[in-house]
Amino acid sequence: MYSADRCLFVDSIRVSRQDGLFLSDKTGPSSFVSSISLKTQKCFVDKNENVCLVSCSLGGQTLGPVKSRRSGGKGGWVLSVSLSREEGYVGDSGEDWGQNGDNNLETVEEVKEKKGSGALNTTKHLWAGAVAAMVSRTFIAPLERLKLEYIVRGEKKSLIELIKWIAASEGLKGFWKGNFLNILRTAPFKAINFYAYDIYRSQLLKLYGNKEATNLEMFLAGAAAGITATLLCLPMDTIRTVMVAPGGEALGGLIGAFRHMIQTEGFFSLYKGLVPSIISMAPSGAVFYGVYDILKSAYLHSPEGRKRILDMKQGGQELNAFEQLELGPVRTLLYGAIAGACSEAATYPFEVVRRHLQMQVRATKLGALATCVKIVQQGGISALYAGLIPSLLQVLPSAAISYLVYEFMKIVLKVEPA
């Protein structure tokens, strides 16, 4: 039995085209040898004293048990290690040492970072947006319920009277009616929306070769993000509207409402109001993201903003997630609320038309323009803004909280820029 210090003697390393890595004569850079840590696991030798089992570590990555074999029964020991084609080491002179004699290998750490890093970052990015939607929607669910009562039911009661009526007829939980379905709708919508905006803005920067996005690029990216999210998530929004509408309780929940719409009106009934949805979401996304990023850019280029960024760099890892927010918590909430209010006010009539289109049945189905005209004829121009006040009361905290949580989660999850 050999002791640990007699099990293996390492002088240098060379690369073989056939059998992996061998430790033999002084044929490789000394820095590579020093990066290899050899640790005895169970050192035993056969009767010919030519095999020893050791554990090898390269750059902190354990390669597992390997066999050390005496070369020709004389001299030192030879370490045979099998590395994948993507693992390797760059020597002092910059020469890459590869398993197959190719100069194309990277360090183990670099390879591991590259594998799946894009998919992982995308997943984290989407989760940041989804969590932001979950938190904000749950917080403002009562206001969302009030808005739907005004739009869908055409409620004529005052805001205070409506609150009292819901509390008396359905109790406190009535204010969160449909919230779970709302989360199922808004979580993927917001996740896709936030992620798509960052992707489109990044691509526009590359396309035009700018270091910072212009106002036009921000608006274009926001509009494209809104359209993308709408196309993917509109069916869930339609089902939710039908469930909350009068008689929706009898449909039997999400599955029942889905089955009812497919059986009675066909699959494309899930995309009722698609045109006004796209028409509304394009400017809505443009204003929402554009206003926020314009305000953010203006602050970061101000003396106060530059000083904050400098202080953050000096603080480094000692800062918590809230302290790492570029705008700070209060300013993030404020700018998010302003962006949300501007977006809602600019596109609210489209929202009203879309809800009415979703409520129509096939027998009385009208187009977007005809529906808009009908709404104006029945209630005047003000009918296009029915429920705007409760909607703004809902949007202000919703946009503020969603932006704060989104920026916070990106820091917590260490999301890389798109």
Name the band, by pLDDT with cuts 50, 70 and 90, for residue 124: very high
DSSP at 17: T
Mean pLDDT along residues 195-204 = 94
Question: Per the domain annotation, does 5 fall within a domain?
Answer: no
Question: Per the domain annotation, does 182 fall within a domain?
Answer: no
List of residues 6+ apart from 71 with CB closer than 8 A: 24, 77, 78
- Per-residue pLDDT, 151: 65
Which residue range(s) make up the domain with 364? Answer: 270-385
Which of 152-166, 203-217, 282-296, 404-418 is least confident? 152-166
Give 125 or 73, the one with higher predicted confidence.
125
| Cα separation, 365 vs 362, whole angstroms | 5
Token digits of residue 349: 């009539």
Question: Per the domain annotation, does 356 fall within a domain?
Answer: yes
Give 396 or 77, the one with higher predicted confidence.
396
| SS3 call for 408 | helix
Token digits of residue 14: 């060379």
- Does the pLDDT value for residue 35 go beyond 70? no
- Does the pLDDT value for residue 125 go beyond 90? yes
| Cα separation, 197 vs 191, whole angstroms | 10
Question: Per the domain annotation, does 277 fall within a domain?
Answer: yes
DSSP bridge pairs for 38: 56
Question: Per the domain annotation, does 250 fall within a domain?
Answer: no
Angle between helix 368-379 and helix 274-300 axes, rounded to 10 deg: 80
**Domains of the chain: total:** 1
Q: What is the mean pLDDT of the chain?
A: 74
List of residues 6+ apart from 296 with CB closer than 8 A: 326, 327, 335
Question: Per the domain annotation, does 181 fall within a domain?
Answer: no
What letter represents residue 9's amino acid?
F
Task: Please name the helix (run of DSSP H) or strand (run of DSSP E) that holds residue 281, with its range, or none.
Answer: helix 274-300
Express as a percent the part of the chain with pLDDT over 90.
25
- Does the pLDDT value for residue 140 go beyond 80? yes
Mean pLDDT along residues 155-165 = 79
What is the sign of the dihedral through the CA atoms of 218, 224, 225 and 230? positive
Task: Please name the helix (run of DSSP H) or strand (run of DSSP E) that holds residue 240, with its range, or none.
Answer: helix 215-244
Task: Please name the helix (run of DSSP H) or strand (run of DSSP E) that holds residue 58, with its range, or none.
Answer: strand 51-58
Question: Per the domain annotation, does 310 fall within a domain?
Answer: yes
- Per-residue pLDDT, 258: 85
- Per-residue pLDDT, 152: 63
Which of 80-94, 209-223, 332-346 is least confident? 80-94
What does pTM read for this prediction? Answer: 0.61
Question: Per the domain annotation, does 312 fall within a domain?
Answer: yes
- Does the pLDDT value for residue 99 go beyond 60? no
